[in-house]
Amino acid sequence: MKAPLDRIDLEIMENLRKNARLSNKELASRVQLSPSSCLERVRRLNASGVFRGFHAELDPAALGLSLQAMIVVRLRRHSRRDVVAFRSHLLALPEVLDVFHVGGSSDFLVHVAVQDSNHLRDLALDAFTTRPEVGQMETHVIFEHTRSLTLPMRQLE
């Protein structure tokens, strides 16, 4: 059983979620711990699987991918084989940023970044409608994408 998270653990998580590049010394200062105690807590949180990883988030627009969209997909059949095959196909596409396998009237939400509307059209026609697993597809252009940098900490307390 995992050890319960205390207030300091939650503060460490929140600070690293906002800026994973914080030095241990700066993080320790922000959560009012000694650097050695802070490092031990970060290592424990990491070992327990709280952190999925630390990475650099890229801006698609800065890379010439100025149009983003969510492609909603409903599969023809809901067999494990079809779900796995389609998910693998999606993850191999360079335009795909995120894949969500969801419940409800749709099966997949696929977040993509492309150069322009022609690129989006070609992606939809070539990479989605040609797949035997796809029964229905709907595309929603994203006007703005904002990621929350906070966790619902009250839920964790």
pLDDT of residue 151: 64
Mean pLDDT in residue range 129-152: 89
Q: Does the pLDDT of residue 155 top 70, yes or no?
A: no
CA 100 from centre of chain:
9
Burial label, 96 (beta-carbon count in 10 A; 0-12, 13-18, 19+)? middle
Average pLDDT over residues 10-27: 93
pLDDT mean over 104-123 = 98
For residues 95 and 139, is the Cβ–Cβ distance under 8 A? no
Share of the chain above pLDDT 70, in %: 92
Residue 152 has pLDDT above 70, yes or no: no
Mean pLDDT of 89-105: 97
Does residue 13 register a pLDDT over 50?
Answer: yes
Nearest Cα residue to 3 out of 43, 53, 52, 54 = 43
Can you give the pLDDT at residue 156? 60
Percent of the chain with pLDDT over 90: 80
Helix ranges (DSSP H) in 48-152 = 80-91, 117-123
Rounded CA-CA distance 148/33 in Å is 26
Whether the per-residue pLDDT at 110 is higher than 90: the answer is yes
Pairing verdict, β 67-75 and 134-142: antiparallel
Could you identify the residue written with the tokens 């509307």?
Answer: 117
**Which residues touch 55 (CB under 8 Å, ≥6 apart)?**
20
Query: Higher model confidence: residue 150 or residue 96?
Result: 96
The helix (run of H) or strand (run of E) holding residue 156 is helix 153-156
CA angle 29, 1, 53 (to 5 degrees): 50
Segment 40-95, tens digit of pLDDT: 999 999 999 999 888 888 899 999 999 999 999 999 999 999 999 999 999 999 99
Would you state the structure tokens that stand for residue 87, as one six-digit string?
């998910």
- Give the residues across from 137 on adjacent strands: 73
Structure tokens that stand for 156 in this block: 């964790």
Mean pLDDT of 106-112: 98
- DSSP for 112-130, please give it: EEESSHHHHHHHIIIIITT
